[in-house]
């Protein structure tokens, strides 16, 4: 009588597996068995053990946890190439802040699709998204099966005035954006069997008044939603808060008794030691968008945050959505800032992009590692590429040499999202064609704001 085989929904076999289980270990010629969306087995191949409904053989690939993007604006592609050169972060205020209100809903929708396509194809399986288009992002989550946390911005200033340092508070703007944020959170929280959840998003510590912050925290905690904001992201923000309160922005929120483990704070670029201590004291999650900071000339104290024990993880923000490139920027910038090649290891960078980012958004006990009992959010990276040879089975090889285009497959809770490099549920060609038909129109908006564009302004040339 033969051995009774264990029934599983999916069995994935690969040349290498990188579990990100707290050690820089790898498994050669391994397999992952998945049942009811969770990992039932991970280890060496045991073909006699399984009766699988579906088997995926990837003999030239590596498996690793899906990347977790702890802070992003997937629909923000319209503002690319506006803040990478010149005044850098200043364009955040002059072009992006002023331009958001000029972008039409159809354009936000198509940019949400493009952003989701880009991230999914790069191996990102979880997004913590914060922008103008929560419904479009939610629709993309439902179409693709990606895991998402959604928020739309809440503020009580006029963004057109912010570039001039005018922080006049408008109660009607605050009431409207808070209502929109609460309604969007109610619409999306728990959708797609819990893969889509909600946060409230007070925009930034300088664009939200104390009263509005208090209302956001009250609503979020009443409903069991998280909170998400930009903190110490610019010198203007920090100067404004210091002049008003005498302390840094994170310290100020902590002193108000509003921070907690349900918060994700993005950037901390200009946070001082007191701000970092406040972040640790209140157990916030720190979303570190490594690729954006060198372009603007200032790199946050990632090592300081990590050494204090602040939960830290990778984010893409809006300029670059390739986790491999983000890890390389993170490694290079951190080592240069410390003048120490040991300041951050390849394994630590990979952990920040997976388990660390999952911890930041409160899902570290479910995703971010390949581990029995965890939900099966997995990606496959092709190794049979010239730039990946020779592959010695090390994390270093993956982190320093792989590219977003090497991602061939991904699964979220055991369900396919990317198959042979194509994203399920969204027609990429249609999305690109639709965007191209709007490019000159969007270029005109950028031009009107003093931004950088060489698109043809003539409607007859479209």
CA angle at residue 382 from 377 to 387, to 5 degrees?
135
Contact (Cβ atoms closer than 8 angstroms) between residue 120 and residue 143: no
| Domain-wise residue ranges, the chain | 6-65+374-423, 67-360
What does the pLDDT look like over 78-100, one tens digit per residue?
Answer: 788 787 776 555 677 788 878 88
Residue 455: the pLDDT is: 80
Between the alpha carbon of residue 10 and those of residues 135, 252, 292, the distances in Å are 31, 49, 38
Q: What is the reported pTM?
A: 0.95
What does the pLDDT look like over 399-445, one tens digit per residue?
Answer: 999 999 999 999 999 999 999 999 999 999 999 999 999 999 898 98
Contact (Cβ atoms closer than 8 angstroms) between residue 320 and residue 297: no
**Residue 37 exposed, middle or buried by CB count within 10 Å (0-12, 13-18, 19+):** middle
Fold topology of 6-65+374-423: Urease, subunit C; domain 1 (2.30.40)
Express as a percent the part of the chain with pLDDT over 70: 97
Query: Would you say residue 395 has pLDDT above 50?
Result: yes
What is the distance between the alpha carbons of residues 226 and 229, in angstroms, rounded to a whole number? 10
Band (128; pLDDT cuts 50, 70, 90): very high
Q: Which CATH number fits domain 67-360: 3.20.20.140, 3.30.70.1060, 3.90.79.10, 3.40.50.2020?
A: 3.20.20.140
Residue 1: the pLDDT is: 45
Task: Return the axis-axis angle of helices 428-448 and 105-121, rounded to nearest 10°.
Answer: 120
The predicted model gives 195-208 an average pLDDT of: 98
What is the distance between the alpha carbons of residues 87 and 234, in angstroms, rounded to a whole number? 12
The predicted model gives 297-320 an average pLDDT of: 95
């Amino acid at each position: 009588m033969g051995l009774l085989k264990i029934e599983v929904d999916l069995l994935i076999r690969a040349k290498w597996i990188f579990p990100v289980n707290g050690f820089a270990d790898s498994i050669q010629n391994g397999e992952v068995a998945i049942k009811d969306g969770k990992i039932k087995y991970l280890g060496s191949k045991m073909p006699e053990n399984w009766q699988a409904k579906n088997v995926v053989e990837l003999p030239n690939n590596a498996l690793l946890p899906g990347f977790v993007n702890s802070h992003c604006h997937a629909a923000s592609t319209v503002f690319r190439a506006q803040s990478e050169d010149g005044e850098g972060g200043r364009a955040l205020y002059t072009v992006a802040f002023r331009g958001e209100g000029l972008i039409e809903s159809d354009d936000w929708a198509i940019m949400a699709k493009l952003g989701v396509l880009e991230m999914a194809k790069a191996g990102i399986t979880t997004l913590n998204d914060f922008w103008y288009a929560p419904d479009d992002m939610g629709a993309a989550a439902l179409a693709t099966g990606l895991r998402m946390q959604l928020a739309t911005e809440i503020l009580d200033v006029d963004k057109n005035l912010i570039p001039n340092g005018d922080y006049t508070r408008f109660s009607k703007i605050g009431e409207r954006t808070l209502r929109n944020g609460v309604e969007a959170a109610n619409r999306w929280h728990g959708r797609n069997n819990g893969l889509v959840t909600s946060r409230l998003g007070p925009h930034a510590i300088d664009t939200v008044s104390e009263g509005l912050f208090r209302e956001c925290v009250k609503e979020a905690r009443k409903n069991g939603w998280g909170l998400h904001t930009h903190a110490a992201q610019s010198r203007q923000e920090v100067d404004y808060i210091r002049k008003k309160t005498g302390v840094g922005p994170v310290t100020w929120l902590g002193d108000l008794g509003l921070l907690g483990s349900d918060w994700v704070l993005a950037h901390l670029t200009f946070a001082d030691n007191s701000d970092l201590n406040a972040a640790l004291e209140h157990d916030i999650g720190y979303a570190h968008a490594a690729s954006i900071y060198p372009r603007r000339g200032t790199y946050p104290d990632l090592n300081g945050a990590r050494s204090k024990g602040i939960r830290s993880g990778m984010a893409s923000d809006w300029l670059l959505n390739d986790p491999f490139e983000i890890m390389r920027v993170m490694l290079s910038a951190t080592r240069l800032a410390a003048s120490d090649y040991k300041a951050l290891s390849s394994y630590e960078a990979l952990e920040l992009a997976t388990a660390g980012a999952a911890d930041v958004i409160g899902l570290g006990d479910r995703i971010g590692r390949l581990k029995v009992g965890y939900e099966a959010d997995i990606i496959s990276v092709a190794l049979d590429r010239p730039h990946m040879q020779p592959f010695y089975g090390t994390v270093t090889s993956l982190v320093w040499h792989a590219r977003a285009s090497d991602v061939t497959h991904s699964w979220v809770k055991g369900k396919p999202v990317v198959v042979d490099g194509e994203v399920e549920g969204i027609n990429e060609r249609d999305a690109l064609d639709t965007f191209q038909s709007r490019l000159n129109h969007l270029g005109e908006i950028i031009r009107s704001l003093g931004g950088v564009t060489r698109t043809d302004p003539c409607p007859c040339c479209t």
